[in-house]
Chains A and B, each alone.
Chain A
């Protein structure tokens, strides 16, 4: 079993759509969780951290369920500029473990 697993994608959605990404992790002792965004041929950039209480940043909402070892990212009112690969990342004793990423393509 992979340490961090994500929806395979790709997700092709129209502008304005709401899209949800899911992620599961295998190590229950993992300490912190993130969503990163990676554009084609670029380095990953931190989108947001994920907390048990859930957190929101504009159109983006992230949630963590420690009991189910499940992380989600919701993007509302998708923009063309949201097109990218979204990486679910788990911090395991100081090491970042990356999921394989889910590709999102937002179409006009």
Chain B
């Protein structure tokens, strides 16, 4: 299957700082990338969908000014958590798709805000 990487795999930051997470499709061009969040013992929740070169579409309840998404190329999307707070601590997972029905997941980024 296709390979998707995420960086960093784990990050600890202080409350009030911003954190950038990168998602890269390594061996294919991703027309669409998805960002998910997963809290402990809960399922993955879609945060936003981004298409290369256009603004991301955010799910209801997700603040677009807090979770900035940039999909600058067909192989890279970034999620920036601005002014992070402890309640933002979570497992953030991206996926990339080159077709409507198939998504390839990155290994995830574990964010801890102290």
Task: Give bound CA distance, A96 to B42, whole Å.
Answer: 15
Q: Interface readout for A75-101 with B: 1 if CB under 8 Å, 0 if not?
A: 000000000000100010011111111
Is the CB–CB distance between B101 and A43 below 8 Å? no
Give the contacts of B64-114 with A (CB-CB under 8 A).
Answer: 91, 93, 95, 100-101, 103, 105-108, 110
Tell me whether chain B's interface is mostly helix, strand or loop, or mixed.
Answer: strand
* In the complex, per-residue mask of B1-24: 1 if CB is within 8 Å of any chain A CB, else 0: 100000000000000000000000
Indicate the member of A43, A46, A96 with the most B CB atoms within 10 Å: A43
Instruction: Report Cα–Cα, A98/B36, bound state, in Å.
Output: 10
Q: Please name all residues of chain B whose beta carbon is closer than 8 Å to the beta carbon of A101 when the two chains form the complex.
A: 43
Residues of B within 8 A of A99 (CB): 43
- Please tell me if B26 contacts chain A, counting CB pairs below 8 Å: no
What is the predominant secondary structure among interface residues of chain A facing chain B? strand
A98/B44 in contact, CB under 8 A = yes
Chain A residues with a Cβ closer than 8 Å to the other chain, count: 18
> In the complex the two chains form, is B93's CB within 8 Å of A43's CB?
yes
A96-B34 contact given A32-B101, A91-B101, A101-B43, CB 8 Å threshold: yes
**B91: chain A residues within 8 A (beta carbon):** 41
- In the bound complex, residues from chain A placing their C-beta under 8 Å from that of B100 are 94
Determine how close the nearest CB of chain A comes to the CB of B15; give it in whole angstroms: 23
- The listed residue (A32, A41, A43, A91) touching B105 by CB distance below 8 A is A43
17 contacts between A and B (CB under 8 A): A31-B101, A32-B101, A41-B91, A41-B110, A42-B108, A43-B106, A43-B107, A46-B1, A87-B43, A87-B44, A94-B49, A94-B100, A95-B46, A96-B34, A96-B46, A98-B44, A100-B43
Give the 6 A-B residue pairs with the shortest CB-CB distance, closest first. Answer: A43-B105, A98-B43, A100-B43, A98-B44, A43-B108, A94-B100
